[in-house]
């Protein structure tokens, strides 16, 4: 009798545990993820998109409202305003519209006073922010004109990075070296610390300096047998993986967005996005070395990193979780003045006029 009661109680307890487990799982149920095939069939090249993550990213990837285009005719800005060193090729109307747009893109709360000191002539360079803005305008034109292999016709504007904030939300600087056990056993070789920069893995937490500031080789595949000069090491490969984790997280995609899972190193089987990413790495390096580093002395100390270097860009600066910044919104089409210097209209030569057919 006792055994029967005990068995009954045990079965009842097991049933209660099963029901509780089912209810717990039901309470934790979430909408399914979405799968999109972007690569070759049969190689696992599906992109996994979490609707909840996409919903969170959507709020920070909305293109801003824009003002109507200005009249391109009339006197040039360089002939009317003083100390115009960039964009003086625009008409006064175009230049004024660009200044208003830059204010809305970068410092809507501060207004014109973010770059121009109240009571002073607007031509004054007394505020460092104006000096920086001028250089950033040059950089934007350079990107749109010379890095179309990455930004294509979509292009970039100040808003691509700033999103209405004076300092972009996603920038980086060199981290302070960390020591192990108060320095008794040296430093940690830049790894073994779960870091957001590498998607909370223990990979090297500064994958930016070697690749986006310096020109370290991203591709780590030995071409000779050890020890005949082959310096491709596991540690170097871990830095590469750290950069890949950053890129994956910054674009909100998994590895097969660029790579064929059959052979990650093979270029022939890779997607077109891998070529675009190749150019993006070099574009970020170009921006950081040719534009950002030169502004180190211009920024005040409180705008520099802990190691005294200027804040720089990485993939997340523009993408902010989206596979295309602002999900591909074409801002450049409304601001063609941000693609290099406008060419001045030239009258046709006498020879061209003579050769033209009669109408």
The pLDDT score that the predictor gives to residue 9 is 46
In the chain, what's the furthest Cα-to-Cα distance?
Answer: 118
Interval 266-315: pLDDT, tens: 998 899 999 999 999 999 999 999 999 999 999 999 999 999 999 999 99
Nearest to 204 by CA among 233, 170, 167, 225: 233
Helices (H), 252-310: 272-287
pLDDT of residue 24: 54
Q: Compute how many other C-beta atoms are within 10 angstroms of the C-beta atom of residue 126.
A: 10
End-to-end Cα separation, the chain, in angstroms: 115
Mean pLDDT of 141-155: 96
Tokens of 4: 């029967």
Q: Are 292 and 298 in contact (CB under 8 A)?
A: no
Report, in angstroms and rounded to the nearest whole number, the Rg of the chain calculated over CA atoms.
27
d(CA 118, CA 112) in angstroms, rounded, equals 9
238, 319, 251, 198: which is closest to 48 by C-alpha? Answer: 251
For the chain, list the domains and their CATH numbers. Answer: 65-167+320-342 (1.10.468.10), 170-222+230-318 (1.10.468.10)
pLDDT at residue 142 tops 60: yes
What is the helix (H) or strand (E) element at residue 99, kind and residue range? helix 92-106
Whole-number average pLDDT of the chain: 85
The pTM of the whole model exceeds 0.85: no
């Amino acid at each position: 009798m006792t055994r029967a009661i005990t068995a009954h109680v045990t079965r009842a307890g097991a049933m209660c545990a099963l029901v509780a487990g089912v209810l717990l799982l039901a309470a934790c149920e979430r909408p399914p993820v979405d799968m999109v095939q972007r690569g070759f069939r049969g190689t696992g090249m599906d992109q996994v998109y979490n609707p909840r993550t996409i919903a969170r990213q959507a709020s920070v990837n909305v293109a801003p409202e824009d003002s109507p285009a200005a009249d391109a005719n009339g006197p040039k800005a360089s002939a009317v305003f003083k100390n115009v060193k960039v964009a003086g090729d625009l008409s006064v109307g175009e230049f004024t519209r660009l200044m208003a747009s830059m204010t809305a893109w970068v410092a809507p709360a501060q207004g014109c006073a973010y770059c121009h000191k109240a009571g002073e002539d607007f031509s004054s360079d007394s505020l460092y922010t104006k000096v920086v803005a001028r250089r950033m305008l040059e950089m934007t034109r350079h990107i749109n004109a010379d890095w179309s292999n990455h930004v294509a016709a979509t292009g970039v504007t100040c808003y691509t990075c700033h999103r209405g904030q004076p300092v972009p939300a996603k920038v980086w600087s060199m981290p302070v070296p960390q020591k192990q056990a108060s320095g008794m056993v040296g430093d940690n070789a830049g790894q073994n610390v779960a870091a957001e920069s590498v998607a909370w893995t223990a990979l090297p937490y500064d994958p930016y300096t070697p690749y986006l500031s310096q020109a370290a080789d991203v591709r780590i595949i030995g071409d000779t047998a050890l020890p005949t000069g082959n310096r491709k090491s596991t540690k170097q490969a871990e830095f590469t993986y750290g950069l890949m984790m950053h890129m994956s997280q910054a674009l909100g995609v998994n590895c097969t967005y660029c790579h064929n899972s059959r052979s990650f190193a093979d270029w022939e089987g890779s997607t077109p996005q891998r070529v675009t990413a190749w150019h993006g790495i070099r574009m970020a390096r170009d921006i950081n070395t040719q534009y950002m580093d030169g502004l180190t002395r211009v920024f005040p100390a409180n705008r520099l990193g802990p190691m005294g270097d200027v804040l720089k860009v990485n993939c997340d600066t523009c993408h902010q979780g989206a596979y295309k910044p602002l999900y591909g919104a074409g801002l450049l089409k409304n601001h063609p003045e941000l693609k290099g210097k406008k060419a001045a209209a030239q009258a046709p030569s006498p020879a061209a006029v003579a050769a033209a057919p009669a109408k």
